[in-house]
């Protein structure tokens, strides 16, 4: 089975994203939780009937069985559409280290896709599949997600079996899931996870089933480097603001132990594990391995067992120091990748620039954390910027819940498809609690003076949307803090007014409503999509003589106009 195409831009299409596509997809079960969904598999993961190459033709073999993760997803009803390109032997973070061609960025083919799960990220971002499998040792399941405006879920180590996966550094390897929404990635995780005795690093994990606190604390490294990329730096500053608006309080953390742990992956005897994973093949076919992958793997040959013991002890010590930060924060926020590089730049300087891309990813698996890369912004130059949320092992559902809230607050499209995000859905694995949806239009909006009345009651932001064009919005005089009044008018004779919908625990709803002062109250609001939700309204008599601000389209826009600047 030969690669479909080795020319990355043949016929104007980046066919290098695929290594092999069968004539027809490999169908899964006729029914199941993932029935009808199509997925791609990184070509270091076994699919029976499809060659596994790990992007090295002479390494290629025909597996007789599916990797455990593939078997579980097929059993859940999903179907395999093919094998995707990668940095050879999953050794790289840029997507150019493959004899089958460099996989370009989904937004600009001059730029790298990120790696090593380059092809998997590309086919998700361009809508060719619903989700894809990758692997993640030092960031390979996160960097491509951040550079292509998609979600990259890097679960806790051992949560998904790596049986049937060509190892990179087996003790820290993880399967990764790419999707355009957090909710879908979480659905896939729910089906993919499970203990597997055939994987020596698989383990039974109890995942936290409660969301992070409504008023949560997020860590921000005390020193961040964007390698001269001012657009990335500005996008990260905005991400801090956005997490604040979701109820977070930033806490500065010392990044030194994390940076030192990250450096050990390639600058210590830990790199010997990469050599150990491929020793039989590498010792006999070293010349078949492309540079700089050959030098990286070969660099693991010269270390002694004592060297490895020392490096492992050093890593454990750094982990002890780093873990103290979890006493002060609930989640850590970092850029997924600190900058973008062109394919030409990476080929000219393949080692240094590749390392730069992993500046904020390498430490995560080494220190046994879970991570989720989520889209954050489209920069002024049109390139995506993503952030990664990191928390201790077992926090996978919590990260998914916060990540979904963050992603939907951005208003970004799905990958490079231009399609809007669907409505958010409950995250699999989190405990279900009775709740009520509440729409707010004024001082309770994210970042506004009364928003704490929502967050301190455990309410979470579901989405930002608009009313039907059946309302007028007034600036009510003499209110502290300033508040608007939403008044219903005849259908179609008013304006569509911006609002947020929050999900509040039912047991907290009564105390919240009791705090609403007249002339405001709660009634069912008609939304732009034709549905209804409980939300703030104002008595029409109280708005008489008040300034009609409906033409601004919402309270936030009105306040920005009052300040004379755009928010």
- Cβ-count burial 507-531 (b if 16+ within 10 Å, e if not): ebbeebeeeeeeebeeeebbbeeee
Tokens 């046994």, residue located: 368
In 373-474, which ranges are continuous DSSP H helix?
A: 396-410, 452-455
Count of C-beta atoms within a 10 Å radius of residue 471: 23
* CA 211 and chain centroid, separation: 17
Q: Which of 140, 202, 376, 495 is catalytic?
A: 140
The sheet that has 520-526: what strands, in order across it?
A: 460-466, 498-505, 435-440, 532-538, 520-526
3-state helix, strand, coil in the chain (%, to 5): 30, 25, 45
Q: Which of 113, 116, 118, 435 is catalytic?
A: 116
CA-CA distance, 551 to 548, in Å (whole number)?
A: 8
HSE-CB for 143 with a 13 A CA cutoff: 36
> Does residue 483 have an active-site annotation?
no
Cis peptide before 184 (omega within 30 of 0): no
Burial class (CB in 10 A: 0-12, 13-18, 19+), 287: exposed
CA-CA distance, 163 to 200, in Å (whole number)?
A: 9
CA-CA distance, 344 to 338, in Å (whole number)?
A: 18
> Does residue 116 have an active-site annotation?
yes
Q: Which of 42, 83, 154, 157 is catalytic?
A: 42
C-alpha distances in angstroms, 6 versus 14, 98, 102? 10, 10, 9
The sheet that has 483-488: what strands, in order across it?
A: 483-488, 471-476, 547-548
**266 token code pair:** 């390639």
Active site amino acids: 42, 116, 140
């Amino acid at each position: 089975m030969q690669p479909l195409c080795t020319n990355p831009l043949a016929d104007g299409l980046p066919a290098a994203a695929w290594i092999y596509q069968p004539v027809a997809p490999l169908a899964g079960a006729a029914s199941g939780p993932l029935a009808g969904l199509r997925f791609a598999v990184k070509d270091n993961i076994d699919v029976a009937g499809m060659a596994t190459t790990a992007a090295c033709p002479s390494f290629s073999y025909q597996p007789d069985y599916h990797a455990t993760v593939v078997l579980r997803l097929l059993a859940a009803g999903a179907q395999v559409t093919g094998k995707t390109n990668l940095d050879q032997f999953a050794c790289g973070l840029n997507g150019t280290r493959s004899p089958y061609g460099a996989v370009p960025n989904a937004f600009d083919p001059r730029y790298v896709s990120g790696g090593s799960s380059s092809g998997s990220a590309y086919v998700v971002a361009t809508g060719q599949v619903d989700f894809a499998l990758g692997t993640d040792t030092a960031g390979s399941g996160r960097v491509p997600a951040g550079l292509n405006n998609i979600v990259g879920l890097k679960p806790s180590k051992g949560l998904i079996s790596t049986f049937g996966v060509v190892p990179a550094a087996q003790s820290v390897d993880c399967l990764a899931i790419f999707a355009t929404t957090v909710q879908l990635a979480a659905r896939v995780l729910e089906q993919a996870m499970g203990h597997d005795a055939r994987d020596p690093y698989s383990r039974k994990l109890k995942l936290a089933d409660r969301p992070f606190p409504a008023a949560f604390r997020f860590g921000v490294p005390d020193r961040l480097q964007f390698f001269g990329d001012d657009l990335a730096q500005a996008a990260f500053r905005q991400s801090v603001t956005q997490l604040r608006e979701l109820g977070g309080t930033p806490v500065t953390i010392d990044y030194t132990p994390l940076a030192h742990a990250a450096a050990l992956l390639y600058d210590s005897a830990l790199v010997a594990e990469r050599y150990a994973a491929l020793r039989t093949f590498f010792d006999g076919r070293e010349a078949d391995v492309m540079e700089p992958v050959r030098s990286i793997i070969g660099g693991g040959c010269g270390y002694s067992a004592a060297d490895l013991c020392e490096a492992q002890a050093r890593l454990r010590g750094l982990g002890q120091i780093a873990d103290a930060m979890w006493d002060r924060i609930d989640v850590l926020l970092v850029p997924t990748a600190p900058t973008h590089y062109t394919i030409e730049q990476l080929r000219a300087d393949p080692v240094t620039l590749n390392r730069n891309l992993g500046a904020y990813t390498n430490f995560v698996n080494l220190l046994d954390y879970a991570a989720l890369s989520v889209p954050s912004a489209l920069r002024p130059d049109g390139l995506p910027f993503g952030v990664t949320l990191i928390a201790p092992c077992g926090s996978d559902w919590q990260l998914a819940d916060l990540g979904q809230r963050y992603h939907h607050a951005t208003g970004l499209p799905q990958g490079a498809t231009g399609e809007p995000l669907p409505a958010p859905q409950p995250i699999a694995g989190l405990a279900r609690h009775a709740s009520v949806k509440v729409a707010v239009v004024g001082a309770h909006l994210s970042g506004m003076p009364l928003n704490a009345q929502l967050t301190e009651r455990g309410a979470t932001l579901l989405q930002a949307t608009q009313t039907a064009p059946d309302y007028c919005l007034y600036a009510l005089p003499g209110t502290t803090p300033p508040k608007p009044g939403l008044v219903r008018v005849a259908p179609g004779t008013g304006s569509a007014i911006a609002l947020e919908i929050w999900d509040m625990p039912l047991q907290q709803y009564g105390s919240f409503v009791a705090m609403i002062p007249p002339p405001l109250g709660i009634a069912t609001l008609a939304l732009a999509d034709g549905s209804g939700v409980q939300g703030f309204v104002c008595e029409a008599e109280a708005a008489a003589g008040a300034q009609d601000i409906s033409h601004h389209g919402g309270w936030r826009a009105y306040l920005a106009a009052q300040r004379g600047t755009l928010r």
